[in-house]
Chain A
Amino acid sequence: EAGVAQSPRYKIIEKRQSVAFWCNPISGHATLYWYQQILGQGPKLLIQFQNNGVVDDSQLPKDRFSAERLKGVDSTLKIQPAKLEDSAVYLCASSSRRLAGYEQYFGPGTRLTVT
């Protein structure tokens, strides 16, 4: 069974530029998560989808971050415009169930550097 796929693996941009990350979850997993992990910290949940609906986006900086999962499968996270403090690893995870009984599986992440 293929794991969670993410691309690109690395991205370097200048501040005020835009960037997009792509995630393809494990086949059949209805729930998809995007996390931001700043160096030395634990992952922070940005947004959680159940199929193509948003379950939780309370920690997503909506003035510059957006995410979509139009067909309930793969997802895109966008930052526009980027700031220096957005430098982090962006992790995508998926699970087959939401709420109780979930077990998340993570992709390799995208390391973003904003200069």
Chain B
Amino acid sequence: GIQVEQSPPDLILQEGANSTLRCNFSDSVNNLQWFHQNPWGQLINLFYIPSGTKQNGRLSATTVATERYSLLYISSSQTTDSGVYFCAVVSADDKIIFGKGTRLHILP
């Protein structure tokens, strides 16, 4: 089945820094979504982005479906950005697969 790999697995940054999180997938996908899981465990939608680029405030995402990757950019990090970031894909055979996540810790 399709493999979803996220990198880096862990990231520690100072408040105000920028970061780039990556999601690679091994086969073509119908959909891709980015989530933020906060320290209380709630999964929060960030982007639904099967292709192209989207921006929402300090966050933006780009998916290059033909090259099988997606990037999540976080600018001017805040402590509230801490948590785990997941990408989830829907494969061509309609299987939903989550990556293992990137754990982000923003230091004040």
State the A residues within 8 Å of B (CB).
Answer: 33, 41-45, 48, 55-56, 58, 89, 91, 93, 99-106, 108-109, 111
Contacts and interface: CB of A to CB of B under 8 A. Distances in A.
Contacts of B44: 106
B30 A103 contact: no
B43 interface: yes
B42 interface: yes
B98 A106 contact: no
7 contacts: A42-B98, A45-B97, A100-B30, A102-B90, A104-B45, A104-B88, A111-B41
Interface in B87-108: 88, 90, 94-101
9 residue pairs, one from A and one from B, having the closest CB atoms:
A42-B98, A106-B43, A103-B48, A45-B96, A100-B30, A43-B98, A42-B100, A109-B41, A42-B86
A93 B37 CA distance: 14
Contacts of B45: 103-105
A44 B31 contact: no
A58 B86 CA distance: 22
Interface string B39-81: 0111111001010000000000000000000000000000000
Nearest to B84: A42
